[in-house]
Structure 1
Amino acid sequence: MKLATFTQGGRTRIGVVEGEQVLDISASGTVPTEMISLIEGGEQAMDGLRQVAGKATSFPLSAVALEAPVPSPGKILAIGLNYADHIEETGLDKPKEQIWFNKQRGSVNGPYADVNMPSVSHYLDYEAELVMVIGKRAKHVPRERAHEVVFGYMCGNDVSVRDWQLATPTMTMGKSFDTHGPTGPWIVTADEIGDPHDLDFTCHVNGEEKQRSNTKHMVFDCWDQIAHLSRAFTLEPGDLIFTGTSGGVGVAMKPPVFRQVGDVMKVAFDRIGTIENRIVAEKAETLIA
């Protein structure tokens, strides 16, 4: 099942995507209208959704605005140096331990929304990544049960401001600028994907292929990641995990090549879909509210 957050007629709610239509499940009054609430509702909520979906009003996808499927996740966690070819192009050693950083919630962005070129930097780069959506509260999860924790999967672009990223050891600042976490276009539920470790993916910029790989090339796979993270803290429904990127990023080219205002970044994952984001100049306006 494909689950989307969409806006139509001035209202934002969740729906089921079937072909080129989105089914509006909100009118029933019996199913949550916000994604994290639906995820928290577990199988009971999903059963209710299936019952109302067949009777729901539908809209063409072209007539709605698809939003970030999880607009306000509790945590956004991302792993670094997790594909062999990406490690090689950086010239760094293969990590013995998983390298984690967080993206701030303000980075969340829609699948087709504009991405800001920061007013303070022009070292903007792309990173195509599979994103896991956590479905259950989870702590100390053994690897063999990690699949039970995943609600579904999305495309993601871990947009990175490289000079800010490299300025400090934590990388968080350079990974967390507003608009720099596009995800979507919807969540494909885990039962439809099955094993997530054989998904082809690409990243194109202005139609030119920059990245092409498969999730089987992860150094630490999805189950390793969940087992490791849950040793430290509780994972919650709606948390997002960016699972790493492959070789082909701009900063590793010789010489490095960074993005420009007007560039269009397109990330596509087999059996999930495509997100596409245009880079626009940030309006650097003071906000004190």
Structure 2
Amino acid sequence: MYARPVAATAAAVLGVGAALLSPSAAAADPSPADTASRHGEPIVFAHRGASAYAPENTLAAVDLAAGMGFAWVENDVQRTKDGELVVVHDDSLARTTDVEQRFPARSPWKVKDFTASEIATLDAGTWFGPKWSGARVPTLKQYLNRVEGNGQKLLLEIKKPELYPGIEKDTLRVLRQEGWLDRGHVRCRLVIQSFGAASVREVHRQRPDVTTGFLGTPAVTDLPSYAAFTDQINPTYSTLTADYVTAVHRLKGAHGKRLQVNTWTVDDAANAERVAGYGVDGIITNKPDVVADAVG
């Protein structure tokens, strides 16, 4: 599901003056596996930032989520031609930047075919609305620094790992360099997820202390094999049932704690209430304000 701009809503939310979350407050929280449903309500994850109200995966979307009072943001990581990790969802730059105008002869404008310096010149905001003109595709380093500065927490998705052999090692290297693999971050501020089971397994192999999530809906009979290397099963909400959530919760994940369920991408109150009733631990959404209002 792709977000659409709702500038008036964003302005109204920012106008309430919600306080930014302090890094010290975030660091005092329990581990990611423990925070879910701590008070009987699912955690709300701002999908690609507050992406219904600002251009997805940009620093503006991160800041907007912080201004709305949301601790957790989700992002997507891919790798450039020269090995830089950047935060962008599609494996093509065409939908969310002006790459077709800037580089018309380089269709289909794949992330992996552009250098980081080329991508840094692209406008990643105007497609969403004139207000956001000049927004850029951030590097993972820039994104981590902004999330850190806002005192937020990160649900990081390794996107299409089959296109980027070794991206797990690269991602962990950048996280380490930027201070995100110390005890405080690993314990309570970081989850790494992917649709690629092999990628999640590789992250767990390299850094078994890091909380991981698998994006998908494995058969119930296959859940024990996933629980060996992941802490979360994160399915699309359209596949979800109360029985499935119960089946996941019966198992312990890679860190010996109850296997968690974070579902995506829920943008309306009715479905938010429905999946919350199933007992999910988290809801990933483009409209965190709508979902938070719906689930308490």
Greater fraction of residues in helix: 2
TM-score tier after normalising by the smaller chain length: under 0.3
TM-score of the superposed pair, with normalisation by structure 1:
0.24
Greater fraction of residues in strand: 1
TM-score of the superposed pair, with normalisation by structure 2:
0.23
Higher relative contact order (CA 8 A, sep 6+): 1
